[in-house]
Structure 1
């Protein structure tokens, strides 16, 4: 199991916060400062220049930026050693259902785990949400293809088929 972290800036709606729930259940360690995240952790950043791929297997931990989309650009992680963007996937959460590339934090963590070959851990965290398994159903084909890719360039090429 890969340790999961979440940097929360409290800009999202606390009643709808999926990471708070995972934190309460012990699946995610929630931190309120970037200084509390190990520099070796893979940061999920939609603004990263490199796509996540199976070549990233072996990371010591995964960190999601749990914040509102409106403040994402204000969180300074541009100099982080290991930043990756997720490839094209469709949200299944109630707030963004059916919207491409608008995943919530739990979907982002689950997609990352799936692509890195940790399907059981991905399924386990998604199972805590009524809509969770729907995310895997909606994205079954691209997740399978991304997980079979060799590297970031191949993931980007696969993604092009969905755009």
Structure 2
């Protein structure tokens, strides 16, 4: 059964979701590994097997995933890729991965983590949370909820972030989306490093 998007009028199809796993934490607790076992994403341990077209979520690029990026994932059938690494090694991990891929890097606007390790911390999302947030923002709410469905805290992520997620999904431009963060979170504009271009 095809579902018609109320946002753009296009027929919704699931986005191809992937994660590059750098094996920096316990695979028994890793959300990307667990999501791949459920069939919610394709896990890559090798850069050569990554999709060639799409968007990679990485929190240091300075360019937020905005409405202008939706077509890459929907009309152009690009893939959504999560960078799965330890927060303690984020800088070197991003540098290593971005040297080996042509995927377009994007960061997410601020959201609260619901995972037990970083609960309530702005921006400290697991790979599964980040992918679910991106899916939600591009109008794939059902796929987003399915992505976190296996985790006890998965529904809590949407409860914590419902208002910002809805606002981000409705934003018409990246600039509007970046500015919305300041309505929901008491932060310094320079602290997040997001570029609205």
TM-score of the two chains, using structure 2 as the length reference:
0.79
Q: How does 1:76-115 map to 2 (within 5 A)?
A: 76=96, 77=98, 80-115=102-137
Structure 1 residue 80: deviation in Å?
Answer: 3.7
Q: Which residue of 1 aligns with 2:65?
A: 52
Gapped regions of structure 2 (runs ≥ 5): 1-13, 188-197
1:144 is the counterpart of 2:166: yes
The 1-side partners of 2:44 and 2:167 are apart by: 32
Deviations 1:22-69 (A, max 9, x none): 111111110012222123120001011210123221311100011101
1:119 is the counterpart of 2:141: yes
Structure 1 residue 81: deviation in Å?
Answer: 4.6
The question of whether the paired residues in 1 share the 8 Å contact of 2:139 and 2:169 is answered with: yes
1:2 is the counterpart of 2:15: yes
The 2-side partners of 1:34 and 1:146 are apart by: 30
1:129 is the counterpart of 2:151: yes
What is the number of residues matched between the two proteins?
Answer: 163
Q: How does 1:19-98 map to 2 (within 5 A)?
A: 19-58=32-71, 59=73, 60-75=78-93, 76=96, 77=98, 80-98=102-120
The 2-side partners of 1:157 and 1:91 are apart by: 20
The question of whether the paired residues in 2 share the 8 Å contact of 1:90 and 1:102 is answered with: yes
Comparing 133-142 with 151-160, which one deviates more in the overlay? 151-160
Gapped regions of structure 1 (runs ≥ 5): none
Q: Considering only CA atoms, is the larger Rg found in Structure 1 or Structure 2? A: 2
The 1-side partners of 2:110 and 2:102 are apart by: 22
SS at match of 1:117: coil
Runs of 4+ deviating beyond 6 Å: none
CA RMSD of aligned residues (A): 1.4
The question of whether the paired residues in 2 share the 8 Å contact of 1:54 and 1:117 is answered with: no
SS at match of 2:129: helix
